[in-house]
Structure 1
Amino acid sequence: MKGYESEYLTQLEKNFFQAYEVAKKARSKGFDPLPTPEPIPTVDLAERVEKSVGPPGIASRIRELNALMPREEMAFKIAEEITLGRFGNKGVAA
């Protein structure tokens, strides 16, 4: 990555977190249905999946499989692994 691209991304991230802090402060006043902003800050799709729906630990497996297969195939593989209980307790109601 070139220097100006890295600088741009750094500035973008800084501005995002400043805006996110403003949103958190506004939400803490209690006028909105939820006490925190809905977007959960994440670094990539894998982390977004884990933080949004889980299960814990799935992000690293998504990254691993993403390097090996197309995204659509990866989604089915992840679903299969969750169904087989490779991430947490099998058969526990959500």
Structure 2
Amino acid sequence: MNRNDLRSVDLNLLVVFEALIQECNVSRAAARLSLGQPAVSGALVRLRKLFDDPLFERIGHRMVPTARALKAAQILGPVLDSVCTVLACKRV
């Protein structure tokens, strides 16, 4: 994927992905994001399509991340931190 392809990606999905990785539970991720559980479930469907991977496997009441999800999470955390830093910069 190149940068121009990012136009077709809802980058808010990456924030949902990070919450899902950290919570391993759709309901808790939804509460953390102040979203409804159906909204996060819908986002997960879109994330699975975007990554072409199930991303999480349900085991009991937990959602266990796949290897692809874990690898993406390692890269995504610093990227989201950088975006926050850029957006917090004030003009001099």
- Shorter-chain TM-score category? under 0.3
Provide TM-score, normalisation by structure 1. 0.25
Point out which structure has higher relative CO (alpha carbons under 8 A, 6+ apart). Answer: 2
Higher helix share: 2
